[in-house]
Chains A and B, each alone.
Chain A
């Protein structure tokens, strides 16, 4: 297993290196980074001063190696707008995003998995039909549309919950619900199909031939194998919630990274966008690595594989 994990670790590292390279050249793809970052109307002296200050006048390879060196020292450059280090801005907003994404993921699992299990064990039943319809709804409705409906109903009409900010403990309810709906849909459908599929496996017939009760078969034979099918999707969904919550955070004015990114795009704060892109990629790579570790722990075929 160590070899397996080591190889995954090396792969993750290479992936991050690739991301750094892509982000570096992306900014320079349009030619002169200065023209991207400085308004067109700015006088030539200002442009030159900016070029000098940011080292854009130096040879490309020198800029690149300095960029890499800085990145490995956790220096992701400075924001043009905030005039401080990107990393410190990001770290300040990070907890809000992690908080929202984690609650959303938890919500999605707690709601979706039981629905999927019930459906998988009783296909065609009334509960299954309702569950599938709910799953389809979750997977097809765009998150931002659902978010607007939530605001309309719970904030505007009923006035029960705040529609923006993170001022109260219950401020998280609406954005978390909106952010989790897509995951709920996906998890319901996946859990259901995993349970259905596993119930038809030969080893479930073996378990039945041993005279185990339905509960024992579900808990000991179906659950673990169904979890295997779910884990990869759950972690992908989590990375999506961490990095892809731009519109949800914007709609609810949630003080997280998505909101920060949206602002940075509007302000053309390229160094910050660059830093955020790196941080989001880091989430994805880390979660993928985590997925591999979890698989290695619970799937014996990987655990003992060479």
Chain B
């Protein structure tokens, strides 16, 4: 199948007063139509910045996308997202790519009815009139599980609970039936029970509309339950990418192994929570060596001299590491 999104060598930097932040260092990944891609990694690893960079949503200045390609292909159109003008990007955002953000309280305009906030997307991209957009919005509100949608159209965000607001956010994201939905930690701010409902709702809409979903999170449990494929990010790079079962059963990058080891287990005695020693790399320095070198138990000389690139090591399984964990020795032909 043709990939709906193919990203290569994506470089984003932030020119801050403290220096240049090397936020993304040649990020590489792809996305297939209809699949769910989980993107995991700790804060500052570049999960959100990657997605924001693709659609021109990083603050500029200080941010700048300085390299790479991101080919979007939904069957009817093919273009490089990074070459689009702001005006062309506006057509993509909301139209072909929808966004769900983390905090549904601050992400909705407090002085505009939720109905209008959903409808304005339709009116912009689908050239609908106000009454037609209203009709479709009410229909959509029902689909995302908001009771009494007709009346709730005219409600303001503060009249909804957190979970309901996130349903509204989802309605905004899918209003124009986009090919891709990017969900940036959409359940982090919610109760666990509400989290499950939001995940379920997203999956239902995904199936219904045939969208690909990029689910950014640091919750490995959520990813295991819903993703088809997982991207592990670290220090502004992709360090491992694999099908979800493959990743959990057979992690190849030392960071992924550490990450999976850090998931608390339900069974067993009360033990101290496991953590990965050390701290993430200083992004103010250009990344000329492996970003995980300082924390890696398998580190050897080469890791400090050059940066490992993503290499295929199995079917649908890539990793960026010079060390072969399975053999317990450095890789030969990399």
- Give me the interface of A with B, judged by CB distance under 8 Å: 201-203, 205-213, 216, 220-221, 224-225, 228, 298-301, 304
Contact = CB atoms under 8 A, between A and B. Distances in A.
A221 B107 CA distance: 12
B108 A209 contact: no
Given A205-B101, A300-B156, A304-B156, A210 B124 contact: yes
A209 B112 CA distance: 16
Nearest to B122: A210
Given A202-B101, A206-B99, 18 more contacts: A203-B108, A206-B101, A206-B107, A206-B117, A209-B55, A210-B120, A210-B121, A211-B92, A211-B95, A211-B124, A211-B125, A220-B112, A220-B120, A221-B112, A224-B112, A225-B111, A298-B111, A301-B110
B90 interface: yes
B156 A213 contact: no
A84 to B, nearest CB: 50
Contact of B93 (A210, A216, A220, A225): A210
| Max chain B C-beta neighbours (<10 A), residue from A208, A228, A298, A299 | A208
Contacts of A298: 111
A168 B226 CA distance: 77
B130 interface: no
A206 B173 CA distance: 9
Contacts of A210: 93-94, 120-121, 124, 172, 175
A203 B156 contact: no
9 contacts: A203-B107, A203-B108, A206-B108, A206-B117, A207-B109, A208-B57, A212-B121, A216-B120, A304-B159
Contact of B106 (A201, A209, A213, A221): A201
Contacts of B3: none
A196 to B, nearest CB: 12
B91 interface: yes
| Max chain B C-beta neighbours (<10 A), residue from A205, A209, A212, A225 | A209
Contacts of B112: 220-221, 224
| Max chain A C-beta neighbours (<10 A), residue from B90, B92, B172 | B90
Interface string B6-22: 00000000000000000
Nearest to A227: B111
A300 B109 CA distance: 11
A216 B90 CA distance: 12
10 closest pairs, A vs B, by CB? A211-B94, A209-B99, A211-B93, A210-B94, A202-B106, A300-B156, A203-B109, A210-B121, A211-B90, A202-B107
A300 B172 contact: no
Interface of B: 55, 57, 87, 89-95, 98-99, 101, 103, 106-113, 117, 120-121, 124-125, 156, 158-159, 169, 172, 175
Contacts of A301: 110-111, 156, 158
A205 to B, nearest CB: 7
B106 A203 contact: yes
A209 B93 contact: yes
A216 B117 CA distance: 12
B92 to A, nearest CB: 7
A300 B90 contact: no
Contacts of A299: 111
A216 B158 CA distance: 23
A213 B67 CA distance: 25
B111 A224 contact: yes
Nearest to A213: B90
Contact of A211 (B101, B121, B156): B121
Contacts of A206: 99, 101, 107-109, 117, 169, 172
Contacts of A208: 57, 93
Contacts of B57: 205, 208-209
Nearest to A200: B59
A67 to B, nearest CB: 45
B74 to A, nearest CB: 15
Contacts of A224: 111-112
A205 B106 CA distance: 10
B94 A225 contact: no
Contacts of A207: 109
B156 A212 contact: no
